[in-house]
Structure 1
Amino acid sequence: MSLNVGSLSLVLMTQLSRLIAILTLLKSKRILTATELSHKYNITVRTVYRDIKKLIDAGVPVVTIEGKGYSLMDGYTVPPVQFTEKEANALITAQHLVTKSNDSSFVIDYKDALIKIKSVFKSSILEKSEHLSDKIHVFDTREKNIASNALSEIQLAITNYNYVEINYKKANDNNISFRKIEPYAIYSTENKWILIAWCYMRIEYRAFRIDRIQHFKILPETFEDRKFSIQAFFRQDPYDIKKKK
C-alpha cells in the first residue's frame, strides 16, 4: 500500500520531531541506549541506528560509549537552527498538503509547529516562503467532506501506550458499539485516517476509521506492548483488512 501525500508529510514531520527530541535528550548529557530510544519512541532498534546516523551525517558529534550507549561529545553546543531556502519551501509545501487532512486536530498542531519553525527562518527566507505559499494550491478530490478531530490525541495514546475507550459506528450501520482498545498504529488512505488497535470486544487487531469514532476517551492506565508490526499487518489479505474495519 503506497503512502499518499498527506501520509508522507506526517512521516517526514514525525521523523524530524523525533530527531530533534533525541538531540534534546543527548544535550542533557544523558547516556542513551538504542533499546531505551526504541521503547520511548515506539520504533525499532534498526530505526534508532538510522536516526543516530542521520544526526552524525548532519554534523552532530554523537559518540558511542562501548557497552553503555550514545552520548554527545564533551563541549558540544547546538548552534542555532538554520534552514536553506529549499528546506523552507518543503515545509511550506507540506503545510498545504496537511491542510487537506480530514482531521482538524492534526491540522492545528501542524500549523502551531510550523509557526515555531518559521520563527527561526532568516528574514529573506521567510519573505520568500510567504511568497511561495501564495503560489501553491492543492485540489481536494474528495467526493464528500469526511472530518475527524481525534488524530493528535490518538497519536499520544499510541506513543504512551494508553488504553482508549471509543464509541464506534460502522458504515451502513446505525448501531454504535462501545470498544476498549490498545492503539498501535495509524495510516492514511483515500483521505481517511485508519487506526489499528487491539480490540477487547473482538479479541484481535481491528482497523477503525477515525472519522467513524463518535466519542473517545484516553485512559490514564497503560498497557503492555504486544510488539505489533504494521508491516506484518499489511501482509494480510487486503480483503480481510477491509472486513475488519
Structure 2
Amino acid sequence: MTETAIREEDFLGTPIALLDVPAAAAAVMARPADAPFAYIVTPNAQHLVQLDRGDPAFRAAYDAAWLRLCDSQIVRLVARLLFARRLPLCAGSDLTAALFATHIQPDDRICVIGGDEELERRLREKYGLRNLARHEPPMGFMADPEAVQACIDFIEAHPSRLVFLAVGSPRSELLAYRVRERGRASGIGLCIGSSLHFITGLVPRAPLWMRRMALEWLFRLLRAPRSHARRVFVDSLPFLYIALKQRLMPARRAGLPPEES
C-alpha cells in the first residue's frame, strides 16, 4: 500500500484516514524503514475539542501528520448518528497491539520515548526485542527546550523503523512535529498514549465489551476518577456540543429544520 492510496474523509475540519487496524498496520510496515520521519496521530473527542478551540501548535502538528486514525468509538458513534459517516475504528492501542503481535520482529529497531525501566524490561521479555532504545524525559519536559532537544537528539541518534511516543497528549504530537520539522530522523512515530502499558500489562485496559459499546472512558473514569474527571467532563464532553453545532449550522443558515439523518 502506498501513501497515495490512503483515502481520507474530513470530519469536523480534520481529515481522517479510512483505515481499520489491519490496513493501518499494513500501511505502516509498507513504508520503507529508512524513509524520512513521518508520524501518526489518533483523533479522539479530546483532540477534536482542542482543535476546535484553535490551538495553533496542536493544529500544526495534526496538519503535518502522515496518518490521522480514528481512535474513538464515541467519535464514530456521533459521526454515524449525526452525519451518516461511517469512520473505521483504528484505536492507537489496537494498532500498537497489532504491530507487536504480528509485524514487529525481535531484531527490528524500536525506539520508545517515555515509560520507565519496568516497561522496557517487559517489552524486551514479552517480544524478545534485541534493538530497543528508550529515553525517559523528565516531568514537564515540553516546557524545557533542552529536555525537548534531548528527546529529538535521542530519536535521531537511534534510527528506528518505529518510534513510540508514550508521553501523553499533546506532548507526543508536538514532539513528533518538532522531529519531522528538523528533518534528520527516519522511521514512523506513533503517538500512542498508554498503549505500551496496556500490552505489557502494566495498566489494565477496559474489557472488550466496554470498548465495543463506547464505554472505555467510563472504565478509566471509574478506575481513576481524580485523574480522568477533567479529561472526560472538561476536555472531551464539549465534543458533543461541537458536533451538534456543526450538524445544525447548514439548516440555521437556510432557516430550515435540520435534514433527517
TM bucket, shorter chain: under 0.3
TM-score, length-scaled by structure 2: 0.24
Structure showing greater Rg:
1
Higher RCO (C-alpha 8 Å, min separation 6): 2
Structure with a larger share of its residues in helix:
2
TM-score, length-scaled by structure 1: 0.25
